[in-house]
Structure 1
Amino acid sequence: MSEHTYHLQKYAGTSTRHTCPQCGHKGEFTYYVDERNVPIDESCGRCNRERCGYHLTPSEYFKAHPTDKRNEFTTWKQPEPPKVIPVSYLPSSLLTTDTYRSENNLFRFMAKEFGTNKTNLVFDIYHVGTSKHWRNNGGLSTAFPQIDDKGRICQLKVMAYNPYNGKRMKKQDRAEMWSDKAQKYVPDTRPMDKIWFAGKTLLKNYEANLQQTFFGCHLIKASSRIGIVESEKSALICSILMPEITWITTGGCNGCKWTEKAVIKPLSDKRVVLYPDSGMVAKWEGKAEILRSSGIDVTVSRICEGLSDNWDVADVLLRERHVQKGMSIGEVMAYAKEIGVSRQITYNV
């Protein structure tokens, strides 16, 4: 009688990681398979997300399905503990002088808005680079390195922007993508936003263990007040318009796994204010609670509450700048208190 041994399927690319039946996350579920690499069932496996914790073993599956004939001649091998893969970092050579900055579409937009000198300064501080990955409107895409508090490059996020309005290119927007195979630009017809995490490609290792961090994390150590926003572009704009705060970004509501202890550790002993986009205050209040449970001094701003969809603090500051209409004394005092600079402001009434 043949005997089958079941084990967790070895990683062999994204095709071997599936959708978890409990939490619904794609690419996080590992099947139990037999010697021929055939899964027992789509429900029998383990979710890689610690927060989910779903794990249905072969023995548990067969107890729940006693009519499954495979159970009569099956022995189950306890899976070996997963190997700890060391964290990889990108080469520091990525931070060399950017000779294509004038072609960078986000730089073009910001230089028009704030002037070349201020834009160059903030691009230098955050080590923002230029990528040829996308080309549109006569310019190139923008590369945002995620540098940790020890100066290591954790990931490189590339995005395409419209140089005229500064908006990020979405899936419906036309852009050309560089093809290494063809050695030329080809139309990017894929139905997806123009966002690319380039780390594994740059390392030429698609199984590399890359752990993201805040964009701007390398600036935290020398700062006392930290403002956290979603968008990398917003951090750059806020750094110009409100430089008394050090601005960092999550890269999205759930980006860079920013509520995990390893990511928020550099925020210890800092005064942190979260600046959620309009309509996101409740979600970010939940995030704030997680940070507080780790001892972080954090408050949540409501400056965007009630504004148009997807507005953020950078939009608010730009609006005030464009209409050249300052806040009222009451608004200035309330906002100064919120960000912790009220003692530094003199009011002439």
Structure 2
Amino acid sequence: MKLTTLCDHLEIEFGTHILESVTGVELRQGGQPIRLFDTTKHSAEVFYRNDQRGKPYIQNFQTGSRIYPVTAYAQVHRLTMTDAIYELARTYGLEDGYYTSRQPFPQRNAPLTKPDYIPNERYEPCRQGFQRNGLFIWLSTIFGVSETYKAFELYRLGTSKHWVFENMFATTLPQYDQVNNLCQIKVIPFSPKTGRRAKPEQLPPRLNRKNESI
């Protein structure tokens, strides 16, 4: 939730209660004289229930300024507006997990285990067998064998015997992170005639268990 949205929600829903907490006065009606920051003998500050947006506020007729609930809370407790919003959000249960200068961010421990990656050498055997790759065959009819091979090399596509569709093997689509770690491999069968992905009901999975290849 954006800070401005959170601030608006606090002031519309809980504004009167926030002003009561900083003034120490029960605010019952609009036009009620109060004393917040005005230190003169006869306070020029008056409480109003809502403005055109539905927010309660304190009008200072001496300075001609309006003081809204979150601003009043921040000034009384000597907080920044950001800290005041987060602190009030926790108080009224609007947001969890916010931390301010009064409540610093907790120290986070490093993960105990590193994420697992697929060894690149395990994937290299898939980078061949394009003459039986359904997607390769279809693209070759449009762009030619040479250009299709360049595209497969560029995107590191490969061939998998896990699926067979229209007498052709499936295509492997590797996914790498920003430092070139192989995170996962998608295996998708494509039609060599249309280039469309095979639907699940069109073929059963066929895993090459003999050599446990992808």
* Highest RCO, 1 vs 2 (Cα 8 Å, sep ≥ 6): 2
TM tier, shorter chain? Answer: 0.3 to 0.5
Query: Which structure has the larger Rg over C-alpha atoms?
Result: 2
